[in-house]
Chains A and B, each alone.
Chain A
Amino acid sequence: EVRLVESGGGLVQPGGSLRLSCAASGFTFTSYAMNWVRQAPGKGLEWVSAISSSGGSTYYADSVKGRFTISKDNSKNTLYLQMNSLRAEDTALYYCAIKSYLKFDSWGQGTLVTVSS
């Protein structure tokens, strides 16, 4: 069974940093691209970032480019999102998701990030 468990969310002040993790199990982690998608409270879904199966290619939404860094540790089956220079508008529930060629196969349950003073 595929399992994705996000962690690392919490309350952080504007300008601060946070690192999210997504622990993956139940599938071959090195065979899939991974994505982060977020949802601000009461709002819609926003794609944030993606990383290729090998980790060699990364992609970002304009809203986070230069501030967020996606990475993966294939030896630990874990996806990361390093978030720096956080803003109030980054407040959201952050989901990790597996993507195969055809579709976003599975999503985690999310970790909440709140940026507030």
Chain B
Amino acid sequence: DIQMTQSPSTLSASVGDRVTITCRASQTFNDFLAWYQQKPGKAPNLLIYKTFNLESGVPSRFSGSGSGTEFTLTISSLQPDDFATYYCQQYNSYPYTFGQGTKLEI
């Protein structure tokens, strides 16, 4: 199984900051890596799929990169609506696995 280790678990930042969240995999896999944003009481919202593809309707301040075992989500300039919890997910092979989440707070 591919284990996903996400860091940091909590990130304190301010509006306008540039932030990066990292996911490290326990083994190399192809670029089937997604990033989700989740707000309390809501289903996850897809931001990035297949490592760097921006989902339709997602603001361009979100970007994804990486390969092999290290993947990153970058928010170029934080907006008030971005304070939420973020998850990475590998869907390259079963069992699909998520990172443990990063809570982005003010």
Q: Which residues of B contact A60 (CB under 8 A)?
A: 95
Give Cα A62 to B99, complex, Å.
17
Residue contact A50 to B96, C-beta cutoff 8 Å:
yes
Q: Which residue of A50, A102, A109 is within 8 Å of B43 (Cβ)?
A: A109
Does A14 belong to the interface (CB within 8 Å)?
A: no
Complex interface bits, A8-49 against B, C-beta within 8 A gives 1, otherwise 0: 000000000000000000000000000101000000111100
How many chain B residues have a CB neighbour from A under 8 Å?
Answer: 22
CB of B16, distance to nearest CB on chain A (Å): 28
- Which residues in A have their C-beta under 8 angstroms from that of B55? 103
Check if A61 is an interface residue, CB within 8 A of chain B. yes
How many residues in A have their beta carbons less than 8 Å from beta carbons of B?
Answer: 21
The smallest C-beta distance from B28 to any residue of chain A, in angstroms, reads 20
Can you list 5 A-B contacts with CB-CB less than 8 angstroms, sorted by A residue number?
A: A44-B99, A44-B101, A47-B96, A95-B44, A105-B46
What is the interface of chain B, defined by CB distance below 8 A to chain A? 1, 34, 36, 38, 43-44, 46, 49-50, 53, 55, 87, 89, 91, 94-101
Q: Which 10 A-B pairs have the closest CB atoms?
A: A103-B49, A47-B96, A107-B43, A59-B94, A45-B98, A44-B101, A61-B95, A44-B100, A45-B87, A109-B43
